Amino acid sequence: MALGPDIVYTRVKDGNEVYILAKERLSAYYKDPGDYEIIEELTGKELEGTSYVPLFPYFKEFDKQNAFKTLVADYVTVQDGTGIVHTAPGFGEDDYNVMKNTGIPVVCPIDAECRFTDEVPDYKGVFVKDADKAIIKRLKDEGKLVKRENYLHSYPFCYRTKEPLIYRAISCWFVDISKIKEKMIAANNQVDWVPSHIKTGRFGKWLEGARDWAISRNRYWGNPIPIWKCDGSDYMEVIGSREELKEKSGVMVDDLHKHFVDEITWPSPDGKGTMRRIPDVLDCWFESGAMPYAQVHYPFENKEWFENHFPADFISEGLDQTRGWFYTLTILAAALFDKPAFKNVIVNGLVLAEDGKKMSKSERNFSDPKDIIDTFGADALRMFLMNSAVVKGEDLKYSDEGIKDVLKGFIIPFWNAYSFFVTYANIDDFKSDGVPKEPDNPLDRWILSEAESLISEVTEQLDRYDLSRALGYIVRFVDLLNNWYIRRSRRRFWRSENDVDKLQAYETLYSVLMTTIHVAAPFVPFITEEIYQNLKTESMPESLHLSDYPVANSEIRDLELEKKMEITRQAVSMGRALRSIHSLKIRQPLKSLYIVTRDTKERAVLREMEDIIIEELNVKDVIFKENEEDLVEYKAKANFKVLGKTLGKNMKAAAEKIEELSMMEIQSLLDGATLHLDYDSGELELKEEGIVIQRFEKENLKVLNEGSLTVGLDSEITEELLQEGTVRDIVRSIQNLRKERNLEVTDRINLKLSGSDWLKVAVDSFKEHLLTETLADNLVWEKTEKSVELNWGDVNCFIDLSRVNQV
C-alpha cells in the first residue's frame, strides 16, 4: 500500500476498532467528529514500512520480500478514498515504478483472457470483471468492508471493439534507448525539417524525453523476433541471417513466418537444454524503421547501392509520425550507422473536413476522393494540396471550392494557352524541330527570359522544399503567358502568310510551353503529360516524366528586358485605371497619354515600348514629361528605417519636422542637396535617403501616380476621335451579329448600315477600317427589315449583313 509522504494520517479510535486514514479524509467517513477519537497524527513518511495483513491470503510467501509493508509515493492524493492507495505493480505504471527497486516481485494472477489463475484459487477461471460482486460480498462478510461507493473515472477502451481494457504487466523485449539517445539527437541535428520548428520542437523534445522502446508483441502475425533461448538456462543467441540459422540448426528456411521458424530448434551449446525461439513477434514500427535496409535486402544484397543512397534525400509524412516513422527510422539509423535516416523531411499537417473536423469514416464528413478526381481531376486535387498550408505541417480545411479555384485559376488558363497554340499551329501546319531559336521580337525574347527565370525560381524553391511558393511562380508565369505574351502576340498568329516573325512567334510559344510543362510536371503530372505527348518530337523521351528537370540557362535571361516589360505593364495598367476612373472606355480612341517620371532610365524604357502602350491604351500618342510638379504634389515622410537607428529617442520630433518640408525643399533634396534641420531636442543633416516621398495627384487632373511613375490622360474627345470611336462601336456590333448569325470567322459579308447624317459622315471617314475589320466586301447605306437597331448614348444605328455567296 502506498502513502503520500507529506500527507498527514491519523490513527482514530472508533468503538473497538482503530483505523488509519488521511486526516483530510475523516469527514468522508464520519459525519460527526464525536464519532471517533484521534489517537495519533503521523505523516506518510513516518508510517513508511509499516507491516500490514493483506485483505486476501494470496502470495503469503512474498511477505519475506516485504510485499506487505507500506511505501510512499508522490502520486497519492487525498481527493478520494482513504488517502492510502492499494498498489499492484502488475496493473499500473505508477504502481510498477514505486515497487521497481524494492525487491518485491511483480505478480499478475490473470491469464491472457483476463481470468484468475491458480495463484488466486478461490476465483480461478473467473473473468476479473465478473468477480467484482463476489469479492465485495466476501469482504463484507469478513467485516473488512467499511464503505462502498461508486464513482466516475476515465477508463481505457479498445478504440475498435469498444470493449473495456485491462492494464496488466507482461514481459517484453525493449530497445534500450538511453544508450543511444545522444546519437539520435546528434543524428536529428543533421536533418532539415519543413517546417523547421519541428526539428527542435515537437521531434527534438520527443527525442529528449524518449523512453525505452518495447519492440515485442504477443501476436501470431508479424515478423518473428530472431532470438533463440535455451529452455534450461538463460543462454540465448540472436540470429542474423538464414545462413546463420542453417549453421546452427541445419535447417534452411524459405518462409520466415512464425509457424515455420518456431519449429526450428537445436541443442543448447551450454548443454542445459534445447534452443527454442522466443514466442514474440516484432512491433510493426520496427519494420517501418528498418525500411532503408529492408527495402534493398541490405546487407545481403545491393550493398553498394545502399551505401550510395543512405541517408535518403528526403521523406515526407504526416505530423502524427513524430512518434511513428520519423522516430523509428531515427532509432535504427542512429543505432546502426550513427547517422540520420534522411537528410530532409517535409511534414504535412492534417487534412480536415470542410466542417473543420477530422475526416472520419464513421462521420462520413468528407467527399469521396474518387468523386473529387472524377469531377475536378487528379491534378486539381494534387495542386490544391501542394499549394496549401498542409505541406507546411499545418491543418488544412478541405473544400470543393478550393479545388474549383485551382481549376479556374490555373489548370484551365494553362490548358487555354496550350489550346491557343494548337489551334493556330494546326491551321498553319507548324511543327517545331525542338531546337531553341533566337527570335528578334522583344516580346519573344521577353517571355523566353521569363521562362528561364521561372526555371531558376522554381528550382530554388524546390531545393528549399517550399512547394507552395514554387507553385506561386508557376501560376504567375502562366498568367504572364496568357495575359501579356499571347494577348499581345495574337495578331502575329492571325496573319495569313508564314513570314519570319510568325514562325518566330510559333517557335517561341512552343519553346515556352515546353519549358512550362517540364517545370510544372511534378505539380500537375497528368495535364503536362497530355500536352507533352502532343508537342514532343521524335527524339524526345517517351514520357515527360522520363525527361530531366530543366536547368536554367542564365544566358537566355535578360533581366533588364524583364524589368522594362514590368515598367511598361505598370504604365499600361495605370492608363487603364485612369480610363476606368473617368469612364472612358478603351474602344474610344484618345489623343494622348502623358507619362511623367524623373527617372531618365525609366523614361527611355517606356519610349522603347511606346508602340505597345499606344495599342493597349488606344491612344494616338504618348508624350513624355519630366516635370512632374505640374501634375503631382510631394509630401515627405521620414525614412524611419534609415534615420531611426541614429536618431533613437529624437525620431518622433525629427519626423514631425520632416513632414513639414515644403515642395521646394523636397525637390532640392531630390536634386542632391543636404538640408539642415532643427527640431526641439536636436538637429539633423538631412539627405535624400532620409526621406520617403509620397506623391499626390493634383485635384481636377486626370492623373494617376504610383511610386516614381505618373500617368495622365488627355481626355479631350475631338469630333474625329468621336467618329472613330463610334465606328469601332459599330465594328464590335457587326462582329457580334456575325456570331449571332453563325458566320464563320473567314466568311466575307455584304453590309447594310443606316442612321443619322452624322453617323454617315463618321462611317465614311473610317470606311476602310470598318470594311477590313469586319471582312465586308461592300457597304450600302440603307435600312432593311432584318436590320438590327443599336444605340450608344444618343447615336442610333441600323445594321444588317449577309454572307457574300448567299446573295
Query: Judged by CB under 7 A, does residue 205 bind RNA?
Result: yes
Q: Binding RNA by CB under 7 A: which of 30, 167, 300, 494?
A: 494
Q: Pairing relation of β-strands 281-282 and 749-755? A: unpaired
Which amino acid, one-letter code, is at 252? M
Using the rule CB under 7 A, is 508 a contact of RNA?
A: no
Q: Give the binding range for RNA (CB under 7 A) out of 78-86, 250-258, 319-327, 798-806.
A: 319-327
The reply on whether position 648 binds RNA by CB under 7 A is yes
Answer whether 333's CB lies under 8 Å from 325's CB. no
Tell me if 201 contacts RNA by CB under 7 A.
yes
Which of the residues 725 through 744 are near RNA (CB under 7 A)? Answer: 728, 732, 735
Give the C-alpha separation, 306 to 299, whole Å.
8
By CB under 7 A, residue 709 contacts RNA? no
Angle in degrees, CA 257, 259, 261, rounded to 5: 65
- Tell me which stretch binds RNA (CB under 7 A): 95-103, 231-239, 592-600, 638-646: 638-646
- For 300-320, the DSSP string reads TS-HHHHHHH-SEEEEEEEGG
Q: Taken in order 436, 441, 445, 448, is the CA torsion positive or negative?
A: negative
Among 87, 388, 449, 453, binds RNA (CB under 7 A): 388
CA torsion sign for 736, 741, 746, 750 is: negative
698 binds RNA (CB under 7 A): no
Q: Interface residues for RNA in 77-106 (CB under 7 A)?
A: 93
Per-residue contact flags (x/-) with RNA for residues 581 to 620, judged by CB under 7 A: x-x-xxxx--------------------------------
Regarding 793 and contact with RNA (CB under 7 A), the answer is no
> Does the protein bind RNA through residue 483 (CB under 7 A)?
yes
188, β-bridge pairs: none
For RNA, the closer CB: 343 or 576:
576
Q: Work out which of 40, 111, 320, 338 binds RNA, going by CB under 7 A.
A: 320
Identify residues 745-784 at the interface with RNA (CB under 7 A).
745-746, 773
Residue 102 contacts residue 48 (beta carbons within 8 Å): no
Q: Name the region of 795 (left: φ>0; alpha: ψ -120 to 50; beta: rest).
A: beta
Among 325, 342, 420, 465, binds RNA (CB under 7 A): 420
Phi, psi of 353 (to 5 degrees): -75, 170
Tell me which long-range contacts 733-737 makes (C-beta under 8 A, separation of at least 24).
733/788, 733/790, 733/797, 733/799, 734/774, 734/776, 734/799, 734/801, 735/773, 735/774, 737/788, 737/799, 737/801
Q: Which of residues 548-587 bind RNA (CB under 7 A)?
A: 573, 576-577, 579-581, 583, 585-587
Rg of the chain taking only CA atoms, in angstroms: 42
Smallest separation, CB 596 to RNA (Å): 17
* Distance (Å, whole) CA 654 – CA 752: 72
Quick check: 408 binds RNA (CB under 7 A)? yes
Q: How far is the CB of 553 from RNA (least distance, A)?
A: 26
The residue range among 32-40, 95-103, 145-153, 198-206 that interacts with RNA, by the rule CB under 7 A, is 198-206
Q: Which of residues 421-450 bind RNA (CB under 7 A)?
A: 423
Minimal distance in Å, beta carbon 493 to RNA?
8
Q: Least distance to RNA from the beta carbon of 389, Å? A: 4
Nearer to RNA, 322 or 597 (CB): 322
Query: Of 295 and 416, which CB lies nearer to RNA in the complex structure?
Result: 416
| Cβ closest to RNA, residue 492 vs residue 557 | 492
Tell me, rounded to whole angstroms, the distance of Cα 584 from its chain centroid.
44
Q: Which stretch binds RNA (CB under 7 A): 106-114, 222-230, 449-457, 475-483?
A: 475-483
Side chain identity at residue 41, one-letter code: E
CB of 526 to RNA, least distance (A): 13
CB of 214 to RNA, least distance (A): 11
Helix (H) / strand (E) containing 163: none
Give the bridge partners for 71, in sequence order. Answer: 2
What is residue 96's DSSP assignment? H
Size of the site for RNA (CB under 7 A): 72
In the complex, minimum distance from the CB of residue 296 to RNA, in angstroms, rounded to a whole number: 30
Instruction: Choose which of 464, 637, 760, 786 interacts with RNA (CB under 7 A).
Output: 637
One residue of 336, 651, 743, 771 binding RNA per CB under 7 A: 651
**Site residues for RNA, window 235-264 (CB under 7 A)?**
none
Between 290 and 731, name the residue whose CB sits nearer to RNA: 731
Q: Which is nearer to RNA, 170 or 252 (CB)?
A: 170
Stretch that binds RNA, among 337-345, 417-425, 669-677, 715-723 (CB under 7 A): 417-425
| Secondary structure (DSSP) of 678-737 | EETTEEEEE-GGGEEEEEEEPTTS-EEEETTEEEEEE----HHHHHHHHHHHHHHHHHHH
- Min CB(520)–RNA separation in Å: 16
Q: What angle in degrees, to the nearest 10, is found between the helix axes of 525-535 and 378-386?
A: 120
Residue 33 contacts RNA per CB under 7 A: no
Question: If you count them, how many residues does the chain have?
Answer: 807
Nearer to RNA, 389 or 717 (CB): 389
By C-beta, is 275 or 730 nearer to RNA? 730
In this complex, which beta carbon is closest to RNA, that of residue 120 or of residue 386? Answer: 386
Instruction: Please report the DSSP string for 247-316 in residue order.
Output: HHHS---S--SHHHHTT--EE-TTSSSEEEE-S-EE-HHHHHHTHHHHTTTTTTS-HHHHHHH-SEEEEE
Among the listed residues 680, 641, 686, the one whose alpha carbon sits nearest the alpha carbon of residue 666 = 686
Nearer to RNA (CB atom), residue 276 or residue 404: 404
Given a contact cutoff of 8 angstroms between Cβ atoms, the answer to whether 90 and 169 are in contact is yes
Question: Smallest gap, in angstroms, from Cβ of residue 483 to RNA?
Answer: 4
What are residue 679's phi and psi, to 5 degrees?
-130, 170
641: contact with RNA by CB under 7 A: yes
Per CB under 7 A, the list member of 441, 459, 482, 547 interacting with RNA is 482
Q: Which of 60, 100, 179, 197 binds RNA (CB under 7 A)?
A: 197
Is 360 or 778 the residue whose CB approaches RNA more closely?
A: 360
- For the bound state, the minimum distance from the C-beta of residue 704 to RNA, rounded and expressed in Å, comes to 8
Name which position in 183, 277, 392, 518 contacts RNA (CB under 7 A). 392
Nearer to RNA, 9 or 484 (CB): 484
User: In the set 98, 120, 396, 535, which binds RNA (CB under 7 A)?
Assistant: 396
Of the candidate residues 538, 649, 672, 785, the single one contacting RNA (CB under 7 A): 649
Query: Quick one: which of 21, 55, 59, 61 has its CA closest to 38?
Result: 21
- Residue among 224 and 393 whose Cβ is closer to RNA: 393
The runs of H, that is alpha helices, within 377-441 are 378-386, 400-406, 412-427
C-alpha cell at 287: 519494420
SS3 (DSSP) at 628: helix
Q: What is the 3-state secondary structure (H, E, C) of 428-490?
A: CCCCCCCCCCCCCCHHHHHHHHHHHHHHHHHHHHHHCCCHHHHHHHHHHHHHHHHHHHHHHHH
Site for RNA in 327-356 (CB under 7 A): 350, 356
Q: Which is nearer to RNA, 423 or 778 (CB)?
A: 423
Residue 120 or 593: which CB sits closer to RNA?
Answer: 593
Q: Residues 339, 397, 783, 803: which binds RNA (CB under 7 A)? A: 397
Rounded CA-CA distance 472/386 in Å is 11
